[in-house]
Amino acid sequence: MTFGALSDRTRRVLACLVKDYIDSGEPVASATLSRRPGLGVSSATIRNVLAQLEDMGYVSQPHTSAGRVPTDRGYRYYVDTLLETRRASRDISTVEARLREQAGEAPLFDQLLSSASHVLFEVSHHVGFAIAPSDMHAIFQRIEFVPLSASRVLVVMVARGNHVSQKVIELNEEIAPSALTQAANYLNAEFAGLSLDEVRQAVLARLEEQRTLYDELRAVALTLARTTLEGLESPTAVFIDGASSLADDAEDANGVSMSTLRTLLRMVEEKQRLVRLLDAYLDGPGVAVVIGAEHPDPQLHACSLVVATYRDGARRGAVGVIGPTRMHYSRAISVVDGAAVAVARFLRDQN
Amino acid sequence: MTFGALSDRTRRVLACLVKDYIDSGEPVASATLSRRPGLGVSSATIRNVLAQLEDMGYVSQPHTSAGRVPTDRGYRYYVDTLLETRRASRDISTVEARLREQAGEAPLFDQLLSSASHVLFEVSHHVGFAIAPSDMHAIFQRIEFVPLSASRVLVVMVARGNHVSQKVIELNEEIAPSALTQAANYLNAEFAGLSLDEVRQAVLARLEEQRTLYDELRAVALTLARTTLEGLESPTAVFIDGASSLADDAEDANGVSMSTLRTLLRMVEEKQRLVRLLDAYLDGPGVAVVIGAEHPDPQLHACSLVVATYRDGARRGAVGVIGPTRMHYSRAISVVDGAAVAVARFLRDQN
DNA sequence: ACTGGCAGTCTCTACATCCGACTGCTAAAC
DNA sequence: GTTTAGCAGTCGGATGTAGAGACTGCCAGT
């Protein structure tokens, strides 16, 4: 329970044990550790150290006559030292190259994030994900109305960063194609460069004015804009790839049981759950790691999550991976960090 | 091996056995069947019948002292009679209502298919999927060019059925926004109503002519159109939902092993594999069922696939479900059939 | 042609045993 | 005081055996 009271040797033993366990997946014996170069002491000495570590809750035994396994707290200690020392060495080059290859030169925003999740999966062999920033802070660039039928219009809205969204609007009354063109021209001239949130506010304000001073064209344009912006923000775009890796995780039963697998597959379907789960970790910059029981959701106690935020102007999104607690953290951290940087660069280059 | 030589009673026994096994998941004993109303004979008699059925390859025993389990051939026989008798009773109303609820009144084409796969999953509790028809036969409705920067253009192309596709095009030279508008007007006036394939051919033909008679505007428009249509057809849009149901299938080990699960999860990722898999079954109308070892891919021998085609004008897409061979076929068939009809209606109503 | 009954077969579970892998502890060595 | 070697103790997993239960196949009787 005493904190930070780990001697240098104790720390080295813990680090060695965690590394060994991550590589082998088997409980690590004192004899195994004593054979490792770096700590030149006998297995008996290591046993003492391990007993100490066990008292402090860093490691545990699956059963009396077995080796030691890191606890969540053990992983936490290991990861924290990693995060300190690793800061500099991000894995950008590989990730960025693969992202460019996957997404192409000028990807749509959605394609970029989808590619990012795919690359994260391929490189880490864990479930990769990418979350878009809230749409409401995107910068409005252009809107187009495509007449589908007399009373039905397809709206295409483009925001900065090749961010396209569409919506079909059902009108109460018929509207001429030329009126639609004029409406689009008006809105483009008026609002380009504002955030969608600002646009929404401006539109509502003008609709208020409009009640008194009467202008057919503007009324139509503003009404269309309001309808378009309605309900735009609710579902945050989420891209997930690599669910098949979960089968591997469950197969060599890394504590990833069938029920955990099901939970994760559900999450892949209802992506919004992931957004809610991540909400708490999206403040700080850099990489955050959530290990096992640190998750609020008990179903995920067998999983760890590595997540980094990226910036797109004033907006903030996230990329990351999800895997078993027995995860190759050092690799995952540098890959996720690299992906966040690569995505941000891509977006910067586009604008 | 003799075909069709099944007596009436033998058929009833087989049907009963398959139903029982589908419900219980346990090998069915002769005594269990004799207790079933409908076939009023003793277990000994049934044992004789079962021995016969086993000789003919319709059922098998997991081990000597166990009940019988249907073989793929047994399922096939069961399903074929189902397909004959069930033809009339499709499950449209439920499915259509849920689809409407899920997709909304005027969904984009992609939303419609995505909703269809979701509804199929929810109703059948198996993996649901929906495949779009090849884009090349879609009816061109409208194109818009949105300038992103001096040399970068976002193309938005709308085909009939609220089918929107986008693409960013990188230009070699700068182009004025007004030129883009004119180009769009020209293309819309010229090609609306043709299939994309026809548009492509027409564009290429005119580009040939253009070499001699020179017209700046048209050249730009046609070049843009060509670039837009390039590589549009390659990946067929596929929507899949319900991977989490695979965890359930694997849990009560319906012969769905971890490796099958992995194969299916991979398929969910590389959706094009599903398209290739289905290519063979997309000719006839109505519902097709592929059972276990009938799959070309040996990894899927533990799975069955129920698929129906839907028509959108002259185009043809597919919807269906994938599950363990021990699947509730009668329900799956009527649901998939209903979904195909519902999707087709939706598309008809949109046009 | 059908049925009752019985012997035979195979799985599954429980229980007993053995082996191997570690640990914890203690007493000696440094 | 710290480290080490050695040894007893503990537990899990593999292996073996026995008995119960679940069916079938077959045969003789109706």
CB A258, CB B251: distance < 8 Å: yes
Task: Compute the distance between CA of residue B54 and CA of residue B64 in angstroms, rounded to an integer.
Answer: 12
| CA dist A207 → A115, A193, A202, A225, A229 (Å) | 40, 20, 9, 10, 14
**Per-residue pLDDT at A87:** 61
Chain position carrying tokens 């007007």: B185
| Cβ of A45 less than 7 A from strand C | no
| Tokens describing residue A293 | 């029981």
**Per-residue pLDDT at A89:** 63
Query: pLDDT above 90 covers what percent of chain A?
Result: 52
| Tokens describing residue A37 | 């170069």
DSSP-derived letter for residue A68 is B
Other Cβ atoms less than 10 A from the Cβ of A15: the count is 17
Chain B CB contacts of A168 under 8 Å are: 106-108, 162
Chain position carrying tokens 């067929």: B236
| CA dist B81 → A342, B16, B75, B86, B312 (Å) | 57, 13, 10, 8, 29
The dihedrals phi and psi of A334, each to the nearest 5 degrees, come to -70, -35
**Per-residue pLDDT at B231:** 67
What's the farthest any 2 CA atoms get from each other in chain A?
90
**Per-residue pLDDT at B151:** 84
Query: Does residue B89 sit in helix, strand or coil?
Result: coil
Instruction: Check if A280 contacts B (Cβ < 8 Å).
Output: no
Residue of A143, A168, A230 to mutate, testing the B interface (most B Cβ within 10 Å of its Cβ):
A168
| Tokens describing residue A313 | 């102007």
Task: Compute the distance between CA of residue B98 and CA of residue A351 in angstroms, rounded to an integer.
Answer: 41
CB B130, CB B319: distance < 8 Å: yes
pLDDT band at A213 (very low <50, low <70, confident <90, very high): low
Nearest nt to the CA of B43 via C1' is C3
CB A4, CB A43: distance < 8 Å: no
What is B286-350 written as a DSSP string? Answer: SEEEEEGGGSSSGGGTTEEEEEEEEEETTEEEEEEEEEESS--HHHHHHHHHHHHHHHHHHHHHH
Nearest-CA distance A147 → chain B (Å): 9
**Per-residue pLDDT at A297:** 87
CB B147, CB B183: distance < 8 Å: no
Rounded to 5°, angle at Cα A200 from A143 and A228: 45
pLDDT tens digit string along A312-340?
Answer: 888 889 999 999 999 999 999 999 999 99
Task: Compute the distance between CA of residue A144 and CA of residue A166 in angstroms, rounded to an integer.
Answer: 10
The crossing angle, in degrees rounded to 10, of helices A216-229 and A196-210 is 140
Q: Do B244 and A265 touch (CB under 8 A)?
A: yes
CB B203, CB B225: distance < 8 Å: yes
| Euclidean distance between the first and the last CA atom of chain A, given in angstroms as a whole number | 51
Query: Does residue B148 sit in helix, strand or coil?
Result: strand
| Tokens describing residue B279 | 């290519």
Chain B CB contacts of A261 under 8 Å are: 247
- The answer to pTM > 0.85 is yes
pLDDT higher at B95 or A209: B95
Read off the amino acid at residue A70.
Answer: P
DSSP-derived letter for residue B29 is P
Pairing of strands B152-159, B163-170: antiparallel
Instruction: Check if A304 contacts B (Cβ < 8 Å).
Output: no
CB A61, CB A68: distance < 8 Å: yes
Task: Compute the distance between CA of residue A350 and CA of residue A329 in angstroms, rounded to an integer.
Answer: 32
- Dihedral (CA of A62, A64, A66, A72) sign: positive
The dihedrals phi and psi of A304, each to the nearest 5 degrees, come to -120, 160
CB B129, CB B322: distance < 8 Å: yes
**Per-residue pLDDT at A86:** 65
| Tokens describing residue A230 | 């309605």
Other Cβ atoms less than 10 A from the Cβ of B82: the count is 18
Per-residue pLDDT, averaged over A32-45, amounts to 88
| Cβ of A42 less than 7 A from strand C | no
The dihedrals phi and psi of B5, each to the nearest 5 degrees, come to -85, 30
CB B124, CB B248: distance < 8 Å: no
Q: Could you tell me what percentage of chain A is helix, strand and coil, using 3-state DSSP and rounding each to the nearest 5?
A: 55, 20, 30
Mean pLDDT of chain A: 88
Residue of B109, B140, B156 to mutate, testing the A interface (most A Cβ within 10 Å of its Cβ):
B156
pLDDT tens digit string along A251-299?
Answer: 766 666 788 888 889 888 889 989 988 888 877 778 999 999 999 888 8
Pairing of strands A127-131, A315-324: antiparallel
What is B249-288 written as a DSSP string? Answer: HHHTTSS--HHHHHHHHHHHHSHHHHHHHHGGG-SSSSEE
182-201 in chain B: CB under 8 A from chain A: none
pLDDT at A233 over 70: no
Instruction: Check if A154 contacts B (Cβ < 8 Å).
Output: yes
pLDDT at A212 over 70: no
pLDDT tens across the length of chain B (351 residues): 444 567 888 999 999 999 999 999 999 999 999 988 777 788 999 999 999 999 999 999 998 888 999 999 999 999 998 777 766 566 788 899 999 999 988 899 999 999 999 999 999 999 999 999 988 889 999 898 988 888 889 998 999 888 888 888 988 888 888 899 899 999 999 999 999 999 999 999 988 876 665 677 888 889 899 998 886 666 789 999 999 998 888 876 666 678 888 888 998 888 998 998 888 887 777 899 999 999 988 888 989 999 999 998 888 899 999 999 999 999 999 999 999 999 999 998 876
Closest among B205, B210, B199, B322 to B260, alpha carbons compared: B322
CB A149, CB B351: distance < 8 Å: no
Q: Is B193 left (phi over 0), alpha (psi -120 to 50) or beta?
A: left
**Per-residue pLDDT at A214:** 67
| Cβ of A41 less than 7 A from strand C | no
Chain position carrying tokens 């590619």: A115
Q: Is A44 exposed, middle or buried (0-12, 13-18, 19+ CB in 10 A)?
A: exposed
pLDDT tens digit string along A131-149?
Answer: 999 888 899 998 989 888 8
| Tokens describing residue A5 | 């009271």
Residue of A100, A266, A269 to mutate, testing the B interface (most B Cβ within 10 Å of its Cβ):
A269
Other Cβ atoms less than 10 A from the Cβ of B105: the count is 9
**Per-residue pLDDT at A116:** 97
